[in-house]
Structure 1
Amino acid sequence: MRSLRHSILPLAAATVLALIGTGTAAEAAPAPAAAKTRATAGALTASGSEAESVGRSARLSNGAPVDSAKNIAALERFWTPERMAKAVSLDKVPAAPGPDAAKSAGPTGKPGSVPSAPPRSAVKAPRINESAAVGKVFFTNPSNGGTYACSASALNSSSKQMVITAGHCVHGGKGGTWMTNWVYVPRYRSGARPFGTFAAKQMRTFTAWINDSDLRRDVAMVTTWPLNGNKIVNVTGGHGLSWNFSRQQAVTIFGYPGNLDGGEVQWVCTGTTRAVSDGRIELQCNFGGGSSGGPWLREFNDSNGLGSVNGVMSTVNSDGWNRSSYFDDGVKGMFDAQGGVT
């Protein structure tokens, strides 16, 4: 089917960097030519200091762990179509502290990759470049009881149950707490849930994000419960993972930006990333709130909708430059810690 195509929206003159769906000030970025954008339909700790990650069992907003069929069913009932439609982006979190550029000067080891995995049964893509392995995330922020939305994608691992997203989509960062009522809806589109709703079982993000809102570590991995006995990667396929590659990469970025079609359909941005002074990477896509956590994919295969995750959507400034944490050995360590959880 024909893919929808839209031009990039006009950009504001002021340059303020904000978490996608949160809104925190940071440094300005220059504005060269725009990238090509198109629409498509109890703690567990990994080793390291700045790269340490912590996991926690997913919970309902009443504090109950999502660890039984009864509570999973309660979570599915909670997320009605009306509640999903009203979910909005987070807003106005504290500004992140300035990073230590010396600690993020380059790769922390040799480049490496985990391969992607196709679904067990063929999945027909309803739109060009719409990926079944990308979806929308919904959750409650305990700080105010509001319901919010992000983006995420299925990530191939030994468990076949994992998705990857932004750190601020699972934890509020400095001064915040873990999100609750967390679910992942693959290939969500205007309320449609073609593969169902997958409840979170366990979340993991970096302690540098939890304690300091460090944007270099705005990454999270979430183990989901099987749905009707089926694991997410086996259902939709799962992207691979890349780390320690050059900061200049041709990427395909997916997400559900609220400033484009109201965040109700997947959008895609393609281009070549560049390095940022704090060690992160950026591309000018003008993806706004709701796109947080969407995958930045190397080697995207248009025929099966799969690639290798080399970043996740984190921030945007008013010139439309989106940024992602750089994927190094720390991200691989998080993957090793979470990828086998079932």
Structure 2
Amino acid sequence: MRSIRPSLTARRGRGGRRTSTSLTAVALVSVLALTATACAGDDNADGKPSAVSTGDGKITIPDDLRHRLKEHGIDVDKWKNGAWKNWNRDDWLREANDFINPIIKGLWDPDRMRGADDPDQGVDDNDISGDQGVTDPTPQPVQARAVTPPYHTSAATSGKLLFDAPEGTMVCSATVVTDPAHPGKSNLVWTAGHCVHAGKKGGWYRNLAFVPSYNDQGMSAAELENASRSEIAPYGVWWADAAKTSQQWISKGGETGGDGASYDFAVIHVTPEQGSGGKSLEETVGGALPVDFDAPAVSQVQSITASGYPAAAPYDGQRLYQCQDKPGRLSIEQSDPTMYRIGCTMTGGSSGGGWVETGADGKPALVSNTSIGPVRSGWLAGPRLGEVAKSLYESVSKQFAGR
């Protein structure tokens, strides 16, 4: 089983043993938006940028802020000149409260967006060694169907999550979700834990950015070669200024197998790279999905729709797809919550994409996200969202409640 992960295709494979329900608080240390001028290398005479952008305005970087950032491994001048590419062990194995994601304007240009890699590392379907709980028969594959463009009309809350890992430029899928602290004005995005953090053998990924309605018109790979940034990212590039995933994922998660898969979820808070004229992400795309943390039993769910941008063959990561199926159960280990599983042919890159169910009120709600799947595709599994996921979600919301 492979972790469908970022177009790193992380489908995390083997289920990890439940260790605790505590959360890793990923504090926002600083959001540093380097100006376009600074990124282009047009600095002051002393070789140092004098200002940063926080969206629409500019402020001078105080010396004490520079020093504080350096304490967390960020040298503003070095970072904007390419230090974000360096992955030494001390940086990679940061403590959980050291999530830092300075904005580098223009970094995610059309070429980098299109070229996000898919280093999928899977294992055999039989490698589910901890399957001690209730698991239903393997579902029949459901052929993923291409979403009709424009995606903004048919799937406005879906998008791509781009980031850099030691292996290179990567991609996942993600979903805009509501924010209880900011009704109608959410800047929260839901994805898989393995799309923001490498798990027990790594640390936080870098340059995390969300692109809602990526390739909104559904252009082919050939057409995208000449597409402008505004055509590829019509609703802008939104950088993560905070990210949280479960302690279970950080402690147990791995690139292959299913360790930590039952807790493979994450919430990020985003801010627009170029400013949004005061509009939130939810207002910009025109919607956000509520999250259902009651973890409805499989028998109560008639149908789940999973969305994502599959990037591993036979897909190319440029178009949005969906699978719809009645879920079954997958248990990786008896001590961990049982996961949802559906038939679906989507591959790596679809990791982190939202799973949506129509609730009793007739309205859609996010109930899971793509986490793992077999090497040869055919099905996907996602965690059931309970108290751990709810606490994580609420903590990110509260972090920005007064802003």
- Provide the TM-score with structure 2 as the length reference: 0.61
Match of 2:10 among 14, 22, 36: 22
**Structure 1 residues 263 and 58: alpha-carbon distance in aligned structure 2, compared to 1, 3 A threshold:** farther
Say if 2:186 is the partner of 1:132: no
CA drift of 1:98 comes to 6.1
Say if 2:279 is the partner of 1:294: no
Mapping 1:1-342, distance limit 5 Å: 16-20=1-5, 21-22=9-10, 26=14, 50-56=20-26, 65-68=30-33, 70=52, 74-92=103-121, 126=150, 130-141=154-165, 143-144=166-167, 146-157=168-179, 158-159=181-182, 160-189=186-215, 190=219, 192-213=232-253, 214-226=260-272, 227-228=275-276, 229-236=278-285, 237-243=287-293, 244-248=295-299, 249=301, 250-258=303-311, 259=313, 261-278=315-332, 279-299=338-358, 307-317=364-374, 318-342=376-400
CA drift of 1:341 comes to 2.9
CA drift of 1:297 comes to 0.2
Higher strand share: 1
Query: C-alpha distance in 1, partners of 2:122/2:203?
Result: 12
User: Which contiguous aligned blocks of 4+ residues in structure 1 show a shift greater than 3 angstroms?
Assistant: 16-20, 22-27, 67-74, 90-102, 127-130
Q: Return the letter of the residue paired with 1:50.
A: S
SS in 1 for 2:190: strand
**Structure 1 residues 129 and 178: alpha-carbon distance in aligned structure 2, compared to 1, 3 A threshold:** same
SS in 2 for 1:339: helix
CA drift of 1:51 comes to 2.5
Q: Deviations over 1:216-253 (max 9, x none)?
A: 11100001114422211122211111122112421111
Q: Return the letter of the residue paired with 2:267.
A: M
Q: CA RMSD in A?
A: 3.2
CA drift of 1:194 comes to 1.6
**Percent of aligned positions that are identical:** 23
Gaps of 5+ in 1: 1-15, 28-47, 60-64, 106-124, 301-305
CA drift of 1:54 comes to 1.7
SS in 2 for 1:139: strand
Residue of structure 2 in register with 1:116 after alignment: none
SS in 2 for 1:242: coil
CA drift of 1:127 comes to 5.3
Q: Deviations over 1:30-54 (max 9, x none)?
A: xxxxxxxxxxxxxxxxxx9622222
Query: C-alpha distance in 2, partners of 1:320/1:341?
Result: 39
**Structure 1 residues 187 and 269: alpha-carbon distance in aligned structure 2, compared to 1, 3 A threshold:** same
- Provide the TM-score with structure 1 as the length reference: 0.72
Q: Deviations over 1:249-289 (max 9, x none)?
A: 21111100113541111101111111112311101112111
Query: C-alpha distance in 1, partners of 2:177/2:152?
Result: 21
Gaps of 5+ in 2: 35-51, 56-102, 136-148, 225-231, 254-259, 333-337
SS in 2 for 1:234: helix
Larger radius of gyration: 2
Query: C-alpha distance in 1, partners of 2:251/2:123?
Result: 12
- Whether the 8 Å contact between 2:264 and 2:371 is mirrored in structure 1 is yes
Query: C-alpha distance in 1, partners of 2:173/2:11?
Result: 17
- Whether the 8 Å contact between 1:223 and 1:341 is mirrored in structure 2 is no
Higher helix share: 2
Q: Deviations over 1:165-202 (max 9, x none)?
A: 00000000110110110000000015611211111110
**Structure 1 residues 209 and 25: alpha-carbon distance in aligned structure 2, compared to 1, 3 A threshold:** closer
Q: Return the letter of the residue paired with 1:185.
A: V
Q: Deviations over 1:58-84 (max 9, x none)?
A: 79xxxxx43346377852311110011
**Structure 1 stretch 253-262 or stretch 281-290: which is displaced more?**
253-262
- Whether the 8 Å contact between 1:156 and 1:240 is mirrored in structure 2 is yes
Query: C-alpha distance in 1, partners of 2:151/2:33?
Result: 36
Q: Return the letter of the residue paired with 1:212.
A: K
CA drift of 1:331 comes to 1.2
CA drift of 1:340 comes to 2.9
CA drift of 1:26 comes to 4.2
- Whether the 8 Å contact between 1:153 and 1:163 is mirrored in structure 2 is yes
